């Protein structure tokens, strides 16, 4: 029978707001006197970092904890690692735990790389014999061999981080807690770390992984748990949870649709915009859009007034979050005259064109020979990343756009 | 790494099942490494290196010699004053330096405590161990002087082993308690130098315990170091042993400090990461 690696029941962690404890005896005495006189708890300044969290993680699972900063992910790992006790509830952990909550926190600047490998290994729970047995592997993995007898205070921050991760990567525990390690190092080292974690989970061990790098989360973990305000807000396959998370995140300040009452919309001359929206081509508004998704823009425009019908020249304006105009595009056919009425304009934007990030979408309406009417910002698109096709690069994909293009390779000379 | 309990229960209630010594034994590697690291780091990039471990006690000894050997002229029972003073001083230094370092150990390692779980007791204990290493260096010097100027070596010398062990025990308990209290109240850090100054005079280091008036002795020996220093000197130099009642009293206080200090530490331990 396979048992769960981690079983969490009603785990709650409260912190007192403000200064947690009395830092001087005087304030401790003063507050206990106050409490006696006023009878009853006057300290109501509690903050729940974790509220009634119940979940279980099976043996061999790789689970990501995602959520905003301060949602409680790191607190959960701290409680599970034994660094801080819960205020209520309990957790049972089956197996030895290794945790890497901050890369390099156990390093002593005056000690050499060699000594620090031992110190850190011992701190993380290895025995001296374990460290000695893995020493060469660790040095090799870190790539700082030439400086192994130099005090780490003379290391570059990259070397420092690589050495620290290398030690943790060679822990031999059944369960590994990892908090934000991919902020570390260059691409090839990132890839090495992810490979290592993949290998780790491939060997049947359990990983709980906290990261803001959602692409890495997607690549590494089949299951994700969304923590919001100290509670489990979603738990399930990574894809679904990420979608839910990103949709919620977008809920504030993102407008994937806008509608106006007739007469209230942006208008000039005889044209009025009544609605604008963006959605995945095979989905509805509000569903996530990533770099591979085919997108559909829809605009509802009313042509008011009488004859003669003006010739209308619509164009979509797409601007990056940095304010750079990315492109404008109108219909393929020549512009035609619009008799009075309400029109729905639809434009298809293929996937594999936009990069991930936020774009603003506006509209440009030419009307006969009037000055064009421009609304630079009607709606936003949040284009998410997609872990496929990245071939090991988990960092930001540079560029304003992100097309997928055909390449050919020919060996034209064997030399 | 197969030495750890395979199932861990994490609960809101604290259960103090033991003094936490078993965990220390399991992680002895780490404890030792901390202690050696402190020695290494302390004398790294210094010109005189480990000789500094001798410098402080020797300067203090010089002062004592001037004041108590030359000016006040205490009765050392025929022992050359430098030997007499040094014998008292090195044991006291081991105790007080250990206690001071232990008391500051949590505060000095707050980043570690907030990020990595390991038995917290390792920190004060490794501080005591570091002071023990310093003590061994000083003891080597004392033995050299003993061979040159002191009375003949006798089997009673072996008594220093239990005496040093009890001193370390008292220091560990006291240091752990102060360390835990320092986390809660920074005020404690201000009190420690005061304890060191008072203790230096309230312990028979510069003068023999026999000079203490009999009426004061019951109170005097409440300081466990009073009996321990007197006994240490007696074992090394053949001076008068403190009375047995004083020894028992001192031992009882030492055990009390150890058990009480560790219990207090265990009780407050869980809060460290949140408060520091």
One-character DSSP codes across B94-122: HHHHHHHHHHHHHHHTHHHHHH----TTH
CA nearest to B247, candidates B226, B233, B265, B263: B226
A19 to chain B, any CB pair closer than 8 A? The answer is no
> What's the average model confidence in pLDDT over A336-346?
91
A55 to chain B, any CB pair closer than 8 A? The answer is no
Domain boundary assignment for chain B: 21-275
Task: Tell me how many degrees the CA angle B218-B220-B223 measures, rounded to the nearest 5.
Answer: 110
- A21 contacts in chain B (CB < 8 Å): 184, 271, 274-275
B16 to chain A, any CB pair closer than 8 A? The answer is no
Read off the DSSP letter of residue A203: T
B3 to chain A, any CB pair closer than 8 A? The answer is yes
CB-nearest to B186 from A23, A81, A88 is: A23
Residue B155 has pLDDT above 60, yes or no: yes
Task: Tell me how many degrees the CA angle B2-B6-B10 measures, rounded to the nearest 5.
Answer: 135
- B114 contacts in chain A (CB < 8 Å): 83
Q: Mean pLDDT score of chain B, rounded to an integer?
A: 89
Question: Between chains, do A123 and B118 touch, taking CB under 8 Å as contact?
Answer: yes
Alpha-helical (H) ranges within chain B are 21-26, 28-43, 52-64, 81-108, 110-115, 122-149, 160-184, 187-201, 217-220, 224-237, 244-269, 272-275
At B85, list the tokens: 């003073």
The phi-psi region of residue A60 (left if phi > 0; otherwise alpha if psi is between -120 and 50; otherwise beta) is left
Per-residue pLDDT at B125: 96
CB-CB neighbours of B199 under 10 Å: 17
CB-CB neighbours of B93 under 10 Å: 21
At A113, list the tokens: 């790389």
At B201, list the tokens: 């005079």
Residue with the larger pLDDT of the pair A184 and A255: A255
Asked if A397 and A215 touch (Cβ cutoff 8 Å), the reply is: no
CB-CB neighbours of A251 under 10 Å: 10
A115 to chain B, any CB pair closer than 8 A? The answer is yes
Per-residue pLDDT reduced to its tens digit, A239-270? 888 877 876 665 444 578 888 888 888 888 78
CA nearest to A171, candidates A204, A205, A124: A124
> What's the average model confidence in pLDDT over A408-412?
92
Question: Between chains, do A119 and B37 touch, taking CB under 8 Å as contact?
Answer: yes
Per-residue pLDDT reduced to its tens digit, B193-237? 999 999 999 999 999 988 899 899 888 999 999 999 999 999 999
> What's the average model confidence in pLDDT over B84-107?
95
The residue length of chain B stands at 276
One-character DSSP codes across A241-295: HHHHHHHHHHTTT--SEEE--TTTS-EETTEEEEEEEEEETTS-TTS-EETT--E
Span A4-250 CATH architecture:
3-Layer(aba) Sandwich (3.40)
Per-residue pLDDT at A382: 85
Return residues 88-127 of B near A (CB < 8 Å). 111-118
Return residues 128-147 of A near B (CB < 8 Å). 128, 130
Cα–Cα distance, A243 to A414 (Å, whole number): 48
Which range, of A152-156, B165-169, B254-258, averages the lowest pLDDT? A152-156
Domain boundary assignment for chain A: 4-250, 257-384
B156 to chain A, any CB pair closer than 8 A? The answer is no
Residue A33 has pLDDT above 50, yes or no: yes
Confidence of residue A1 (pLDDT cuts 50, 70, 90): very low
Residue A20 has pLDDT above 60, yes or no: no
CB-CB neighbours of B14 under 10 Å: 13
Per-residue pLDDT at A238: 87
Q: Quick check: do A4-250 and A257-384 share a fold?
A: no
Per-residue pLDDT at B3: 41
Cα–Cα distance, B180 to A204 (Å, whole number): 40
Cα–Cα distance, A87 to B114 (Å, whole number): 17
CATH code that applies to domain A257-384:
2.70.50.60
Per-residue pLDDT reduced to its tens digit, B36-78? 888 888 887 777 777 887 888 889 899 999 998 888 888 888 8
One-character DSSP codes across A17-55: SSSSS-SSHHHHHHHHHHHHHH-S-----EEEEEEEEEE
Cα–Cα distance, B65 to B61 (Å, whole number): 6
Cα–Cα distance, A291 to A295 (Å, whole number): 10
């Amino acid at each position: 029978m396979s048992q769960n690696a981690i079983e969490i029941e009603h785990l709650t962690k409260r912190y007192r707001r403000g200064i947690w404890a009395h830092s001087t005896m005087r304030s401790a005495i003063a507050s206990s006197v106050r409490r006696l006189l006023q009878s009853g708890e006057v300290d109501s300044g509690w903050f729940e970092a974790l509220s009634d969290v119940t979940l279980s993680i099976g043996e061999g699972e790789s689970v990501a904890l995602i959520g905003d900063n301060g949602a409680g992910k790191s607190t959960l790992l701290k409680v599970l690692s034994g660094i801080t006790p819960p205020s209520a509830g309990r957790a049972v952990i089956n197996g030895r735990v290794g945790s890497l909550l901050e890369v390099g926190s156990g390093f002593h600047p005056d000690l050499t790389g060699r000594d620090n490998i031992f110190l850190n290994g011992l701190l993380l729970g290895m025995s001296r014999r374990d460290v000695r047995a893995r020493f060469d592997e660790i040095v090799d993995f870190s790539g700082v061999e030439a400086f192994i007898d130099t005090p780490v205070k003379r290391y570059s921050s990259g070397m420092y981080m690589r050495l620290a991760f290398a030690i943790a990567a060679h822990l031999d525990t059944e369960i590994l807690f990892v908090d934000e390690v991919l902020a570390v190092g260059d691409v090839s080292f990132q890839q090495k770390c992810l490979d290592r974690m993949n290998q780790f989970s491939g060997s049947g061990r359990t990983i709980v992984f906290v990261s803001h790098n959602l692409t890495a989360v997607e690549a590494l973990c089949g299951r994700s748990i969304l923590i919001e305000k100290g509670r489990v807000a979603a738990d399930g396959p990574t894809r679904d949870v990420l979608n839910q998370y990103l949709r919620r995140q977008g809920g504030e300040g993102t407008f994937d649709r806008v509608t106006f009452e007739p007469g209230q919309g942006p208008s000039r001359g005889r044209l009025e915009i009544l609605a604008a929206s963006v959605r995945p081509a095979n989905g509805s508004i509000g569903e996530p859009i990533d770099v591979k998704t085919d997108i559909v823009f829809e605009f509802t425009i009313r042509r008011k007034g009488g004859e003669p019908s003006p010739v209308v020249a619509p164009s979509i304006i797409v601007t990056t979050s940095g304010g750079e105009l990315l492109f404008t595009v109108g219909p393929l056919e020549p512009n035609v005259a619009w008799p009075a009425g309400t029109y729905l304009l639809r434009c298809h934007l293929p996937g594999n064109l936009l990069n991930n990030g936020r774009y603003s979408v506006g509209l440009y309406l030419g009307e006969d020979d009037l000055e064009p009417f421009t609304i630079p910002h009607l709606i936003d698109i949040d284009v998410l990343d997609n872990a496929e096709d990245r071939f090991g690069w988990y960092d930001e994909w540079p560029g304003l756009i992100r097309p997928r293009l055909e390449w050919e390779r020919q060996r034209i000379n064997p030399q | 790494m197969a030495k750890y309990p395979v199932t861990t229960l994490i609960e809101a209630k604290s259960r103090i099942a033991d003094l936490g010594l078993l965990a220390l034994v399991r992680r002895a590697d780490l404890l030792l490494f901390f202690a050696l690291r402190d020695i290494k780091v302390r004398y790294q990039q210094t010109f005189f290196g480990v000789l500094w471990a001798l410098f402080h006690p020797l300067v203090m000894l010089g002062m004592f010699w001037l004041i108590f050997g030359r000016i006040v002229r205490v009765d050392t029972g025929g022992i050359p004053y430098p030997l007499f003073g040094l014998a008292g001083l090195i044991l006291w230094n081991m105790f007080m330096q250990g206690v001071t370092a232990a008391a500051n150990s949590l505060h000095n390692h707050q980043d570690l405590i907030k990020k990595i779980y390991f038995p917290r007791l390792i920190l004060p204990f490794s501080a005591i161990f570091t002071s023990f290493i310093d003590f061994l260096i000083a003891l080597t010097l004392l033995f050299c002087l003993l061979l040159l100027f002191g009375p003949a070596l006798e089997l009673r010398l072996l008594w220093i082993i239990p005496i040093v062990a009890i001193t370390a025990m008292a220091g560990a308990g006291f240091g752990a308690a102060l360390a835990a209290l320092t986390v809660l109240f920074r005020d404690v850090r201000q009190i420690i130098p005061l304890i060191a100054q008072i203790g230096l005079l309230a312990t028979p280091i510069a003068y023999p315990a026999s000079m203490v008036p009999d009426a004061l002795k019951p109170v005097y020996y409440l300081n466990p170091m009073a009996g321990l220093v007197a006994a240490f000197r007696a074992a090394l130099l053949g001076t008068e042993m403190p009375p047995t009642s004083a020894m028992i009293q001192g031992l009882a206080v030492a055990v009390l400090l150890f058990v009480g200090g560790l219990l207090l530490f265990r009780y407050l331990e869980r809060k460290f990461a949140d408060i520091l």
